[in-house]
Amino acid sequence: MPWEPPLPDQIEDFIAAATYRPKPWHLRFWHGMRFGTWIRLLARNGFRVAPGAIPLALGITLISIVNTVARWVQEVVLWPVISLAKVNQPPVFIIGHWRSGTTLLHELLLHDPRFRAPSTLHCMNPNHFLLTGWIIRLLGFLLPEKRPMDDMQTGWDLPQEDEFALVNLGQPSPYLDMAFPLEGRQAPESLTLRDMDPAARSRWKNTLSGFLRRVSLGHGSKILLLKSPTHTARIRTLLEMYPGARFILITREPEAVFASTVKLWHALNMSQGLQHPDPARLKDKVLVDFETLFEALNEDVDLIPAGQFAHLHYEDLLDRPATALERVYSELDLNGFDQLEPAIRRYFAERADYVAGSYHLDAELAAEIARRWRPLMAAWGYDEAPERVLIKS
């Protein structure tokens, strides 16, 4: 009999739409790990795998052994080429809280042929994609058709968050919480990196740099376009690595972000977890993570040199996409927007019949979000809460 915990406030309403469940053969985020990385994750959580997830854990263990061998072969055979790989131009980072439109912005900007992004293939198989990518592309059935939290398509060559590559390469990440959702925070220092041990922080930087160099191999003239909400809290570290990096922040109404993020984490915990999650924990997680993210951003945004930062609202991107993106291009001194504009108009025309689900936020929860989040968002144009909140996700 399924466990049905009492849920606070409207959490039950928000997770009700997260009904997706992966097929047994679908890959999980952890299938890209090497054996040592995977075993450390299991050991750190006392091997407390739910009985129903034991076959999945055994399958990941077997694949992790393959990943370990394939990584060794790739690095030995291809090292003469890998050692010459460089990131020739400073990357562009899309930042913003989860469910704020970062994925939409990522896909739109990739219509500009000057950009290149890490793909699902790169991020879910970061250990040996240079060696085995051609084989993995033949295994499309291993991916779900759509993402767990919404109706957006998946595919090996679609853009993906580089945070997943860091996870599979053994680096600490907030995303590890999904694997064992009942065990609490796996690596709380990994969101901002500020309290991370200097040696661990250096390893994190070297791992990201090495991954991006491999992604750039053969595409050195292109600008890397990276998107991970976690990077919103890591401005100072990213500027240490790439002083010329440019940042595009996208923000969205806080109430909508809350509801959609609760749905996101529930969907991911259910589809990726090795334990049955407790939805009652989601409210505090989402509230605290938002505060951590924007406190770090608000402290560090002034470190970004002039001409390397742009901000847009998700609402403007939906209502006036060409105008919003033209302004971003202007603020970042990126030429050639006139070549991108027709692709943007086609993108939205092809999705004109999409209808988002909607639900209401009750007054008590809306008041708490306004009290805790809106002071952090005042600088970004969200200082006043709407009188009546209708959420679309």
| Predicted confidence (pLDDT) at residue 259 exceeds the cutoff of 70 | yes
Q: Mean pLDDT across the stretch 259-274?
A: 92
Q: Is the model's pLDDT at 48 over the cut of 70?
A: yes
Q: Residue 257: which of 94, 99, 369 has the closest Cα? A: 99
Local confidence band at 12 (pLDDT 50, 70, 90 cut-offs): low
| Residue at token pair 């699902």 | 120
CA neighbours within 13 Å on the CB side: how many for 116?
18
**Domain residue spans of the chain:** 19-392
Is pLDDT larger for residue 290 or for residue 389? 290
Q: How far apart are CA 121 and CA 123, in angstroms?
A: 6
pLDDT given at position 220: 80
The percent of residues in the chain predicted with pLDDT above 90, rounded, is 74
What is the pLDDT at residue 24?
A: 75
Q: Which of the two residues, 358 and 65, has the higher pLDDT score?
A: 65
Say yes or no to pLDDT of 392 above 70.
no
At 2 the pLDDT is: 35
Give the pLDDT score at 364. 87
> How much is the pLDDT for 4?
39
Token pair listed for 195: 């309290």
Quick: pLDDT tens for 200-232: 999 999 999 999 999 999 988 899 999 999 999
5 band by pLDDT with thresholds 50, 70 and 90:
very low
Whether the full predicted model's pTM is greater than 0.85, yes or no, is yes
User: What pLDDT, on a 0 to 100 scale, did the predictor assign at position 326?
Assistant: 96
Residue environment code for 40-56, b if the CB has 16+ CB neighbours within 10 A, otherwise e: ebbeebeeebeeebeeb
State the pairing for strand pair 115-116/309-313: unpaired
Q: What is the mean pLDDT of the chain?
A: 89
Q: How many CB atoms lie within 10 A of CB 132?
A: 18
How far is it, in rounded angstroms, from Cα 76 to Cα 78?
Answer: 6
Nearest residue to 390 (alpha-carbon basis) of 264, 259, 290, 284: 259
Q: Is the pLDDT of residue 54 over 90?
A: yes
In this prediction, residues 81-96 reach a mean pLDDT of 96
Question: Cβ–Cβ contacts within 10 Å for residue 366, how many?
Answer: 21
| Among the ranges given (16-30, 261-275, 361-375), the one the predictor scored with the smallest mean pLDDT | 16-30
pLDDT category at 79 given cuts 50, 70, 90 is very high
pLDDT at 387: 54
Contact indicator for 143, 120 with CB cutoff of 8 Å: yes
At the top level of CATH, which class does the domain 19-392 belong to? alpha beta
Q: What is the pLDDT of residue 144?
A: 76
Q: How confident is the model at residue 9 (pLDDT cuts 50, 70, 90)?
A: low
* Better-predicted residue by pLDDT, 372 or 359: 372
Q: How far apart are the C-alpha atoms of 356 and 103, rounded to whole Å?
A: 16
Which range (15-24, 83-92, 189-198) has the least confidence?
Answer: 15-24
Mean pLDDT across 338-358:
80
Of 90, 105, 91, nearest to 251 by C-alpha is 105
pLDDT in tens, 101-136: 999 999 999 999 999 999 999 999 999 999 999 999
Q: How many CA atoms lie within 13 A of 111 on its CB side?
A: 19
